[in-house]
Structure 1
Amino acid sequence: MTFKYIVLNLDQESAVEPLVSVCRAIGDSSTHLVGVYTLPLFNPPVIAVPYMPVEVYQELDASSKKQADRIGALFEESAQRDNLPIEWYVHQGMTASGTSAVVEHALTADLVVTSLASSDKAPWVHRELLGRSSTPLLVVPESLAEVPAFRKIAVAWDGTSQAARSIRDAMPLLRQAENVTVVCTRGQSRARPDIIAGSDVATWLTHHGIPVFLDEHREKQLTLGIAFVDYTRQMSADLIVMGGYGHSPLYDSLIGGWTDDVLENSTCPVFLSH
């Protein structure tokens, strides 16, 4: 079992090759790639810019279309190296977030792959892609030096439905891994205090023939996203699997967002489910 139909959120030229390379690593020769570029909706605040000449809008639109052409050409060139079947779509942005078109494609896909750099343009893009489509999301860091083999995977387990779903969604990758480490990010179960935290997850994965290591030490039950990232670096993980955005944007802005902490600091791809 592998990912057969993958949507790529391609919004900048530098992201094309890394994202296609990651898709090669997680798919096979029959994996179908769907590249999507959304023309930005330019809508300046009326108070700040009460009037803007139409020529400015035309120039911005022409520039975006040229970028779409360049990205499309790079996407086709990169995919052709392995004769991967592709589709390429350019959509006009209908909302300020620019994610609606990608979400529509994602609804009927196995996976969405995007770059962490996309959040530079729209900080909410990852939350929207994940929350509105319910399709798992693979976020690739800008600093990715080489395509990982996805043989050493760290699973963040906090006992939530999001974490459980991320494990189910990532099964094609977990089954191919040589080592999967379950890292508890909270204490023992309230309903089953007699079992070691995370042991039920380890048992579940073992039934699938997945080699699992459970870090059961209490001091490793990490509560901060950056602490978890540091731990994954120590174990040389080349993929993180975790639930994403379990709290509201308001909660995350006041208390701090675990998901964004991991995304902003991780040096390996992060597989998210919601």
Structure 2
Amino acid sequence: MALKTIVVFVDQTAASDARVRYAAGLAMRHQAHLIGLFIVPNAWQHDRADSNIQGGAAIHEMLERHNLIESDALRAAGRSFEAMAARDDASFEYRAVRGGDVGELVRLHCLHSDLVVVGHPSAGLPAGWSPEQMLLSTGVPVLIVPASWPEGTIARKVLFAWNASREARRAITDSLPVLRAAESVSVVVVDPTNNPLHGQEPGADIAHHLSRHGVAARVEQLQSRGEPIAEVIRRYAAKDQSDLIVLGAYSHSPRRELLFGGVTRTLLGKVTIPTLISH
């Protein structure tokens, strides 16, 4: 698999700039087509008093004003996206989504991509949607870029969280182009002796598999000593100066993680390093 189509969610916040810069850099590295997806704001949400307007002329003026607000937002977001996406020989386009069923329209656009890029804490997604929901509803891997992430550091030192689950295995396939392009990949196994699925030498077989695909991988076996696994991963990422975390999301069901907590929910609760999730 190659990374050839990337969708990034665009809005009018400062957080949008970080994710668009990241997505544009990733698209250039992989010679991928970049799609900026903007959800046009509903002007009705800005002034509820408009619902009390009466009279033909007043209603006409209100509709004109709403159209102007939406058009201005559309153009401003488009200019910002194009300023960051327009690089040498870059392939990109800007799309807008509006209407009542925005969630399903957005989902349709994402289904035809190899990767979806969103932000944190502001994801840029439709109201009520989360990165996890986008992942689970489309099956397309989602890369979450924190608003504070500096320009220029894009997936050079990758931490791959391996727990020998179906989801982690899927994450390898989904992220393989990114792993190949990285300078180094740390396959991190936490509490390996607690999981018989790892085999005799935890992490070794999957590292060999990655190396056959041209990935510069090494295995790091870590002990949690009772600490939450997500915190062990975060601490190692900081120590190793990782600039991307890759994991298979929800090895347990999302409902179980909601009730009892889990690695996915904890890592996504506070994203400080770009994180690619797959399911």
Fold shared, TM-score > 0.5 on shorter chain: yes
Q: Is the 8 A contact 1:158 1:186 kept in 2?
A: no
Q: Is the 8 A contact 1:18 1:147 kept in 2?
A: no
Q: Is the 8 A contact 1:226 1:265 kept in 2?
A: no
What is the CA distance between 1:60 and its match in structure 2? 6.6
SS in 2 for 1:153: strand
Matched, 1:86 2:86: no
Matched-pair identity in %: 29
TM-score, structure 1 normalization:
0.82
Q: Following the alignment from structure 1 to structure 2, what is the Cα–Cα distance between the partners of residues 211 and 164?
A: 17
Task: Tell me the residue number matched to 2:19.
Answer: 19
SS in 1 for 2:192: coil
1:170 to 171, 175, 192: 175
Unaligned runs of 5+ in 2: 54-58
Matched, 1:118 2:117: no
Deviations 1:34-67 (A, max 9, x none): 11112356899xxxx9x94357x96677544432
Q: Following the alignment from structure 1 to structure 2, what is the Cα–Cα distance between the partners of residues 257 and 272?
A: 14
Tell which deviates more after alignment, 235-244 or 144-153: 144-153
> What is the letter of the counterpart of residue 78 of structure 1?
M
What is the CA distance between 1:131 and its match in structure 2? 0.9
Closer, same or farther: CA 205–88 of 1 in aligned 2, 3 Å:
same
Q: Following the alignment from structure 2 to structure 1, what is the Cα–Cα distance between the partners of residues 42 and 251?
A: 29
Q: In the TM superposition, what are the counterparts of 1:121-132 in structure 2 within 5 Å?
A: 122=127, 124-132=129-137
Q: Following the alignment from structure 2 to structure 1, what is the Cα–Cα distance between the partners of residues 124 and 16?
A: 16
> What is the letter of the counterpart of residue 230 of structure 1?
R
What is the CA distance between 1:228 and its match in structure 2? 1.5
Q: Is the 8 A contact 2:192 2:198 kept in 1?
A: no
The alignment yields a C-alpha RMSD, in angstroms, of 3.2
Tell which deviates more after alignment, 131-140 or 264-273: 264-273
> What is the letter of the counterpart of residue 125 of structure 1?
S
TM-score, structure 2 normalization:
0.81
Q: Is the 8 A contact 1:13 1:70 kept in 2?
A: no
Task: Tell me the residue number matched to 2:107.
Answer: 103
Matched, 1:37 2:38: yes
What is the CA distance between 1:171 and its match in structure 2? 1.0
Unaligned runs of 5+ in 1: none
Closer, same or farther: CA 250–219 of 1 in aligned 2, 3 Å:
closer
Task: Tell me the residue number matched to 2:83.
Answer: 77
Q: Is the 8 A contact 2:33 2:91 kept in 1?
A: yes
Q: Following the alignment from structure 1 to structure 2, what is the Cα–Cα distance between the partners of residues 81 and 68?
A: 21
Bigger fraction of residues in helix: 2
Q: Is the 8 A contact 1:229 1:266 kept in 2?
A: no
SS in 2 for 1:216: strand
Q: Is the 8 A contact 1:155 1:180 kept in 2?
A: yes
SS in 1 for 2:131: helix
Tell which deviates more after alignment, 173-182 or 24-33: 24-33
> What is the letter of the counterpart of residue 93 of structure 2?
E
How many pairs were matched up? 267
